[in-house]
């Protein structure tokens, strides 16, 4: 072959020149990441080398065209053979050398140039002879798979572009890629700007591309949408943005915040135009690797597709919980706290500043405010530059003054929202029930005004003015579930009483003075319990349960009048309004057989859990005998709601004998207390010093059957006597008559605890005694009037309408800019005094953003109070003018005006512990206001928006508001109700809970 047959190659220089140029390039060219090198068959290169060294143009060693045929597996696919070895099978030449050789000799027609990139692998640079070979397919058609090779230095974006070209994806379609590493899992390729190497793509892996659906969803997560019916999936067409959000379980706070942001025009348009894709920041250590921004974008695009009644934001909720653990689970949270996190997360995910520089902040040091403000804003933008900063960030001036040296420190700080305080009243209105000492008077509901920082004594004093009852004769209690949740001391703060608590104020009796000595007294808490009987013969045990009912009472009882009979009479008197005393002609006798009576002796055992009292035969037999009955417990088997201890409170004394009761003394165990010892519901076992026969007799108006029943009740709270005493005891029981109820010492929960003492050791009560009167169901039905017991009257104070406090939004803004003194927990370090000082602080507004978020601080937390302020804040829907609130009065250089229109409101209904969030928002396309309540959306009128539930306000600056592009909808009576009713919510939620395998991001 001669030189004349060299295809289209250019006329080469002399052979010596060729040799010098190529050898120079091979010797001097170094590997640099990203440079191109070419693979050349070694035999051709060696023949060329021999040719140029002969110096004869007509030599028979002429190499001819560059031919790499020996490097390919076949000449159809030109696939490179595996395991080729450098310098044995091929040579690597730099791009310049390749292009010169190609120009001089040409290449065999049809053979591709084997260009390879230099890749920067860990600790080394090398030419990538074997690039990554990847399978490519579409999510919609995974059967059609193509193969392509990419360098490890190629970006994921280059793969996306290659796939768009190969599969003829329409221009402008939003795509995302998945890397399939196995048969069962896929991983999102989020950052399209990273290299194939950094994305961990290797040969034989599959890359799947999906394009966003017209309804804003992705094919891989389409089940995450809730629709009215399956037939509506492709037919529904609604107003974009008018879309509900499904409550996933206490997520109304999230839905409210999302609806407000969704109706913020500049932010929503930014996401709808997919501008965020070019600004996702995957390397920001303060961000969430773009995941929050992408999850938020998905929700917005679905809501504004106009094809959904309601969207299930499950993926978004999961992402929020992943990056902010306080939002994990399904507890209720604050919509403003979520809003703060979301705006900060979106800012960091979309921050255009990839590498934040360190900037040392300077104090004003007497410089003009304009100069300091511009410097502060410039420094802020050097580290923070995103659509969030463009839309929501403003600047305020902070002035601190040291109280000692009067050093003035001025700084300008950015803000994303304004948290403005509400004027706090120093008084509060409380509703309480007053229970008079008159047993025939119904409880009266009063409305009183008391100091917020006051005490229980202030409440009693205010009620005393209405009832003419001295405050010293009142005791305040919180009643919950038929028991006393708490009995308050007079010096306790009212802040611990919530508005929803049921507060009862009881009038106490005035004790008579006897022999110039005040008799010791006790405050007795009285519960009402209904007893039920059942027997379990299979287990060989019998038990009974009790349940609380009605309203408890508080009584002041003299210590010496705590005998069972006197308490029984006292309780009947206090319950006279709704407890009918038995008529003498009515039969209350027991008709049970002797055998049943023996079993009944074992029935009333001590109660341990408030539901049932388990029999403890063995423990009863092990305990010493008792001959005296008590209406609640014995000294060896007393119940306590707190720890045991000695107290001087009076006892439930049963030292009085009744007719037909044996009066002869009975031998007792010397290790126990006296045979006449009884248990005090307040604490101590008291020994009677007079014989039983000498103790006074109560009025003899009971029958033998009633006494028998009373003895049975006594056995429920005292140890059984020894076996040799049982017959006598049983004989006494047979001659008794039933009472309306029995009296039992209990703990504060209204349950009877099992005694633990042995050998007569007493288990004492706490200083606050509690007793319960136990009713048999039949007796309760006959003598207890439930309807009458629940009745109450309303005092005239309840008829006076409560005036709803109304404040102007401007007042709240003025409070925000009022001088305040720093709290002790947050002092300021004075650089002059060289110590922390409680300086005075003043905030002033300097510049305002395009969208201004105003957070009304309705939840007030101080050292003394915790409350939600339900004042109505009167905020304007249009023309909110901040010109008078801005520190900078004159606008220069075309600065925007300071007039705003309302676009959204987040509402909170309820109190401190619970509540519900909704939102009002104005649609940017048609200008119509809507009310968003989770998945339900209704039309709203402007006069409905200002309420005492308004919590977070969104204002849009007037110069940036664009006119609606659509006419407002015509409101028909039917359409004015529910726009997005969900007919088959359960079926769709079931579909929403299942996601395809690809949704693993």
What positions carry a catalytic annotation?
252, 916
**Pairing between strand 541-558 and 678-679?**
unpaired
**DSSP character at residue 48:** H
User: Backbone phi, then psi, for 37, in 5-degree steps?
Assistant: -125, 160
8 Å CB contact between 596 and 707:
no
Q: Which residues contact 353 (CB under 8 A, 6 or more apart)?
A: 382, 383, 384, 385
Contact 690, 663 (CB under 8 A): no
Q: How far apart are CA 149 and CA 131, in angstroms?
A: 6
Q: Are strands 521-536 and 541-558 parallel, antiparallel or unpaired?
A: antiparallel
Backbone torsions φ then ψ of 411, nearest 5 degrees: -135, 155
User: What DSSP string runs through 943-985?
Assistant: GGS--TTEEEEEEEEGGGPPPPSSPPPP--TTTTS-SS--TTH
Q: Which residue intervals of 658-801 are DSSP H helices?
A: 704-715, 726-733, 777-783, 786-789, 796-799
Contact residues for 737 (Cβ-Cβ < 8 A; gap 6+): 588, 589, 590, 702, 703, 704, 705, 706, 707, 708, 709, 710
Helix %, strand %, coil % for the chain, to 5? Answer: 25, 25, 50
Return the exposure string of 792-822: e unless at least 16 CB atoms fall within 10 Å of the residue's CB, then b: eeebebeeeeeeeeebebbebbebbeeeeeb
**Residue 248: strand, helix, or coil:** coil
CA-CA distances (angstroms) from residue 173 to 161, 277, 470?
12, 12, 80
Strands 132-138 and 141-150 turn out to be antiparallel
Strands 835-837, 828-830: pairing is antiparallel
Look at strands 175-180 and 186-189 and give their pairing: antiparallel
Q: How far apart are CA 879 and CA 859, in angstroms?
A: 27
Q: In this structure, what token pair is assigned to residue 498? A: 């919530």
Q: Which of 214, 210, 219 is nearest to 240 (CA)?
A: 214
């Amino acid at each position: 072959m001669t030189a004349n047959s060299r295809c289209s190659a250019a006329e080469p220089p002399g052979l010596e020149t060729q040799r010098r140029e190529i050898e120079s390039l091979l010797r001097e060219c170094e590997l640099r990441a990203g440079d191109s090198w070419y693979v050349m068959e070694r035999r051709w290169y060696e023949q060329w080398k021999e040719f140029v060294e002969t110096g004869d143009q007509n030599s028979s060693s002429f190499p001819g065209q560059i031919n790499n045929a020996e490097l390919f597996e076949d000449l159809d696919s030109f696939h490179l053979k595996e395991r080729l070895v450098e310098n044995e099978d091929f040579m690597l030449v730099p791009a310049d050398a390749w292009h010169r050789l190609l120009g001089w000799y040409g290449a065999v027609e049809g053979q591709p140039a084997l260009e390879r990139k230099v890749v920067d692998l860990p600790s080394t640079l090398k030419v990538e002879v074997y690039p990554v070979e990847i399978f490519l397919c579409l999510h919609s058609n995974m059967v059609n798979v193509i193969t392509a090779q990419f360098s490890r230095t190629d970006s994921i974006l280059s793969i996306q572009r290659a796939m768009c070209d190969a599969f003829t994806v329409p221009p402008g379609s939003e795509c995302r890629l998945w890397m399939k590493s196995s048969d069962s899992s896929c991983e999102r390729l989020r950052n399209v700007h990273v290299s194939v190497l950094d994305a961990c793509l290797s040969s034989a892996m599959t890359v799947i591309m999906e394009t966003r659906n017209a309804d804003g969803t992705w094919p891989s997560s389409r089940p995450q949408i809730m629709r009215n019916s399956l037939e509506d999936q492709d037919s529904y067409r609604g107003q974009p943005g008018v879309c509900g959000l499904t409550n996933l379980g206490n997520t109304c706070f999230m839905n409210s915040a999302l609806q407000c942001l969704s109706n913020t025009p500049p932010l929503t348009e930014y996401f709808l135009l997919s501008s965020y894709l070019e600004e996702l920041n995957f390397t920001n250590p303060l961000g969430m690797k773009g995941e929050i921004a992408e999850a938020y974008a998905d929700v917005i695009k679905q809501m504004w597709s106009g094809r959904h009644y309601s969207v299930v934001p499950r993926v978004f909720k999961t992402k929020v919980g992943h990056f902010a653990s306080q939002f994990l689970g399904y507890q209720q949270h604050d919509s403003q706290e979520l809003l703060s996190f979301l705006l900060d997360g979106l800012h960091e995910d979309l921050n255009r500043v990839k590498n934040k520089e360190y900037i040392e902040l300077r104090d004003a040091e007497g410089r003009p405010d304009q100069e300091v403000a511009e410097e502060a804003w410039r420094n802020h933008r050097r580290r923070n530059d995103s659509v969030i900063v463009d839309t929501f960030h403003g600047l305020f001036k902070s002035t601190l003054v040291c109280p000692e040296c009067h050093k003035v420190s001025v700084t300008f700080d950015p803000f994303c929202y304004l948290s403005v305080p509400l004027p706090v009243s120093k008084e509060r209105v409380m509703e309480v029930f007053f229970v008079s000492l008159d047993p025939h008077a119904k409880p009266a509901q009063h409305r009183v005004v008391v100091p917020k920082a006051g005490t229980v004594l202030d409440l009693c004093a205010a009620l005393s003015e209405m009832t003419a009852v001295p405050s010293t004769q009142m005791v305040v209690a919180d009643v919950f579930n038929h028991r006393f949740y708490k009995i308050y001391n007079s010096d306790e703060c009212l802040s611990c009483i919530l508005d929803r608590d049921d507060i009862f104020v009881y009038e106490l009796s005035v004790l008579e003075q006897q022999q110039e000595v005040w008799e010791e007294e006790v405050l007795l808490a009285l519960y009402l319990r209904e007893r039920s009987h059942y027997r379990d013969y299979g287990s060989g045990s019998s038990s009974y349960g009790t349940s609380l009912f009605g309203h408890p009472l508080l009584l002041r009882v003299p210590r010496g009048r705590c005998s069972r009979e006197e308490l029984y009479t006292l309780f009947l008197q206090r319950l006279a309004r709704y407890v009918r005393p038995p008529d003498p002609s009515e039969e209350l006798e027991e008709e049970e057989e002797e055998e049943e009576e023996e079993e009944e002796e074992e029935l009333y055992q001590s109660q341990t859990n408030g539901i049932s009292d388990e029999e403890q035969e063995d423990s009863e037999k092990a305990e010493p005998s008792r001959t005296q009955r008590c209406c609640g417990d014995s000294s060896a088997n007393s119940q306590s709601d707190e720890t045991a201890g000695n107290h001087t409170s009076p006892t439930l004394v049963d030292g009085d004998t009744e007719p037909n009761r044996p009066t002869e003394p009975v031998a007792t165990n010397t290790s126990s207390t006296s045979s006449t010892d009884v248990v005090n519901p307040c604490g101590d076992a008291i020994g009677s010093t007079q014989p039983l026969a000498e103790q006074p007799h109560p009025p003899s108006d009971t029958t033998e059957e009633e006494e028998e029943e009373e003895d049975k009740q006594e056995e429920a709270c005292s140890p059984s006597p020894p076996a040799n005493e049982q017959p006598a005891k049983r004989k006494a029981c047979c001659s008794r008559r039933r009472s309306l109820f029995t009296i039992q010492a209990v703990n504060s929960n209204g349950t009877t605890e099992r005694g633990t003492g042995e050998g007569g050791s007493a288990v004492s009560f706490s200083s606050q005694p509690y007793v319960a009167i136990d009713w048999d169901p039949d007796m309760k039905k006959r003598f207890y009037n439930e309807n009458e017991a629940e009745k109450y009257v309303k005092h005239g104070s309840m008829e006076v309408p409560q005036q709803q406090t109304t404040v102007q939004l401007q007042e709240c803004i003025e409070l925000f800019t009022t001088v305040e003194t720093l709290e002790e927990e947050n002092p300021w370090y004075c650089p002059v005094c060289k110590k922390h000082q409680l300086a005075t602080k003043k905030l002033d507004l300097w510049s305002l953003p395009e969208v201004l978020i105003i957070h009304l601080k309705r939840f007030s937390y101080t050292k003394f109070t915790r409350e939600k302020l339900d004042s109505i804040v009167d905020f304007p829907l249009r023309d909110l003018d901040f010109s008078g609130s801005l520190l900078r009065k004159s606008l220069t250089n075309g600065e925007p005006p300071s007039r705003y229109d309302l676009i959204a409101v987040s509402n909170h209904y309820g109190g401190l512990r619970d509540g519900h969030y909704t939102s009002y928002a104005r649609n940017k396309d048609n200008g119509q206001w809507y009310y968003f309540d989770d998945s339900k959306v209704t039309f709203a009128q402007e006069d409905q928006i200002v309420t005492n539930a308004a919590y977070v306000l969104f204002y849009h600056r007037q110069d940036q508001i664009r006119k609606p592009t659509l006419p407002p909808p015509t409101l028909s009576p039917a359409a004015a109700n529910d726009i997005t009713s969900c007919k088959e919510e359960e079926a769709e939620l079931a579909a929403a809970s299942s996601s395809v395998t690809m949704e693993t991001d």
